[in-house]
A and B are shown apart, each in its own frame.
Chain A
């Protein structure tokens, strides 16, 4: 066989290999575009069930300005009473992990959440600090794994791996995306081969034209505990100001 024939075969194989990867990224880009909004607000009620089936409840208010890799989020606890006033500011970046600061009223100052601390549970919930970030599609590499039916809806099954700069606690994630809505319905997060956290997005409805999960369930596979976050009063594109998403404002 000639040298040029072999080259052509390798080129075809390379294209065949790259094409699904490109498709997977395009799917995720479409997911991102369809859920993009200028701002978001919701009131979240959380129910945390630990491994001994003990239930604790919390409430927070969430505000976001901007979206996907160029956004700022502020999260303020309303209850229980002893965590009321605790707040978290997340500044998301397009090319690296977010910056996060937590305000604890008893200390009268904010505290930076270091990158190596992002795998820690966020205030007794099963969300880690990293799970509260907004992840830009360009911070991951994607690969189409196949297709599966989840809750009677055909889904793409996509593997994502953080790029080097991301500095994630997860080495990979498997994402299920509904084909009809380009909507993420489930994420399994792995550290090497071990499932760490499963996030399930349910009670999906269209709010202001944006498909929105009104229930987010997080299963911590390591601790065998789970958190259910219910989103109320979801509003998009409210006129927020950048000045309301600063460390100074965390305490207010």
Chain B
């Protein structure tokens, strides 16, 4: 709320705005699940989301970026008690959310952004191992979003080189699925255990990261470093099988990352790769390399991306870790977007585990009506085996619809 007050006061003080722009949308949508899930019998979820995004540049060297969201749904993925959420640490989404609220200072070579903001480092399309300042919102595993972080970011650009340093005073965790819902993080064995959530222990230290990127004539590449915490939690669990009771709490292990990405446009296709090595000083924590290799090609109105996401575990830990993005590794991924005409498009996303233990195929059709309306209908088809991170949700195939009014 401090940032909100600061933003409003500054806005009033600098009332003689030079440049102001705004945009936003109101979206109404829902998911229909043909099958029930063992612990979640809800088969239809409806929701509404309003997004407003003003931008204001009172001086050539100063700009304010903001975006706010108001949302509610029928399945309590949005909390029902009306409150603002600045930290994004709650298990549910907040009904009133500050997605972005940042001041941007610009000089000839430097850009300094202070406040809540989105920071994307990754260059690949499906999985971004180097994106450590972009925690995921996984309330629906098959329809992920990115969360903003509160940070100070300085960017220095000189010629073809850009240096980026980020300091995050307060750690932002990923939002993992809710325990009692169909994307639950519980293994199938414990679906019918009574659960008691003892909360999260958030780290006190501030994460830091730096990235150097170079844009060359024939390729672009970057190197990145992150020292902070994994935004996916470890679980401390006590299980009482006799009472069918499970008590758990979340901790966020330390994480040090060395990563990079490389993109080279070739004559027939664009080659992209991104990789990161994750180490940790936390005992019993896995250490691993997560990487992605992909080819991208545009053929007339069809944009095709085909890739492989891989993982190499260099040290095994026995902590109970939520896999998160690692659950989308060791598989072939593809994305096809066919633009039928300026108002209509067809999309097909697919992920197939290399051993065939799980797959997601997600076709969607989208059409705009006039200058403001867009309707989207899609279907996420999940298959798999219960021992697989994604396969355990094989009963979660769903139809998704959305009607959006943009302004």
Q: Are A117 and B23 in contact (CB under 8 A)?
A: no
Q: Are A81 and B25 in contact (CB under 8 A)?
A: yes
Docked Cα-Cα span, A79 to B55, in Å, equals 15
A96 at the interface (CB under 8 A from B): yes
A112 at the interface (CB under 8 A from B): yes
Docked Cα-Cα span, A57 to B368, in Å, equals 13
Residue on B with the closest CB to A48?
B342
A115 at the interface (CB under 8 A from B): yes
Q: Among A56, A81, A116, point to the contact of B372 (Cβ < 8 A).
A: A81
Q: Which residues of B contact A99 (CB under 8 A)?
A: 215, 217
Residues of chain A at interface, number, CB under 8 A: 36
Q: Which residues of A contact B342 (CB under 8 A)?
A: 48, 50, 56, 123-125
Q: Which residues of B contact A247 (CB under 8 A)?
A: 162, 215
Q: Are B23 and A81 in contact (CB under 8 A)?
A: yes
Q: Are B406 and A114 in contact (CB under 8 A)?
A: no
Q: Which residues of B contact A192 (CB under 8 A)?
A: none
Residue on A with the closest CB to B271?
A114
Q: Are B108 and A243 in contact (CB under 8 A)?
A: yes
Docked Cα-Cα span, A50 to B296, in Å, equals 28
Q: Which residues of A contact B267 (CB under 8 A)?
A: 115-116
Q: Are A96 and B265 in contact (CB under 8 A)?
A: no
CB proximity to B under 8 Å, residues A204-230: none
Q: Mark A82-107, 1 if CB is under 8 A from B, else 0.
A: 10110000000100100100000101
Docked Cα-Cα span, A54 to B65, in Å, equals 36
Q: Are A117 and B298 in contact (CB under 8 A)?
A: yes
Q: Among A48, A116, A120, A124, point to the contact of B265 (Cβ < 8 A).
A: A116
B146 at the interface (CB under 8 A from A): yes
Residues of chain B at interface, number, CB under 8 A: 49
Q: Are B104 and A252 in contact (CB under 8 A)?
A: yes
Q: Which residues of A contact B215 (CB under 8 A)?
A: 99, 247
CB distance from A116 to the nearest CB of B (A): 6
Q: A114-B265, A248-B157 are in contact. Are A84 and B23 (CB under 8 A)?
A: yes
CB proximity to A under 8 Å, residues B151-166: 155, 157, 162
Q: Are A82 and B265 in contact (CB under 8 A)?
A: no
Residue on A with the closest CB to B55?
A252
Q: Which residues of B contact A109 (CB under 8 A)?
A: 120, 122
A233 at the interface (CB under 8 A from B): no
CB proximity to B under 8 Å, residues A5-53: 48, 50
Q: Mark B107-126, 1 if CB is under 8 A from A, else 0.
A: 11101000000101010000
Docked Cα-Cα span, A50 to B155, in Å, equals 42
Q: Which residues of A contact B190 (CB under 8 A)?
A: none
Q: Are B406 and A248 in contact (CB under 8 A)?
A: no
A146 at the interface (CB under 8 A from B): no
Q: Are B104 and A108 in contact (CB under 8 A)?
A: no
B16 at the interface (CB under 8 A from A): no
Q: Which residues of A contact B21 (CB under 8 A)?
A: 84
A3 at the interface (CB under 8 A from B): no
Q: Are A80 and B371 in contact (CB under 8 A)?
A: yes
CB distance from B230 to the nearest CB of A (A): 21
Docked Cα-Cα span, A112 to B261, in Å, equals 13
Q: A82-B368, A243-B109, A252-B63 are in contact. Are A114 and B270 (CB under 8 A)?
A: yes
Q: Which residues of B contact A123 (CB under 8 A)?
A: 342
Docked Cα-Cα span, A93 to B215, in Å, equals 14
Q: Are A80 and B406 in contact (CB under 8 A)?
A: yes
**7 tightest Cβ-Cβ pairs between the two chains A and B:** A124-B342, A81-B406, A80-B371, A117-B298, A114-B265, A109-B120, A82-B406
Q: Which residues of B contact A (CB under 8 A)?
A: 21, 23, 25, 53, 55, 57, 63, 65, 104, 106-109, 111, 118, 120, 122, 134, 146, 155, 157, 162, 215, 217, 220, 263, 265-270, 296-298, 300-301, 303, 339, 341-343, 368, 371-372, 374, 404, 406-407
Q: List 5 additional A-B contacts (Cβ < 8 Å) besides A79-B371, A123-B342, A248-B157.
A: A80-B371, A81-B371, A81-B372, A112-B263, A120-B300
Name 10 interchain pairs, CB-CB below 8 A, sorted by A.
A50-B341, A50-B342, A82-B368, A85-B23, A105-B53, A112-B265, A114-B298, A120-B298, A241-B108, A248-B111
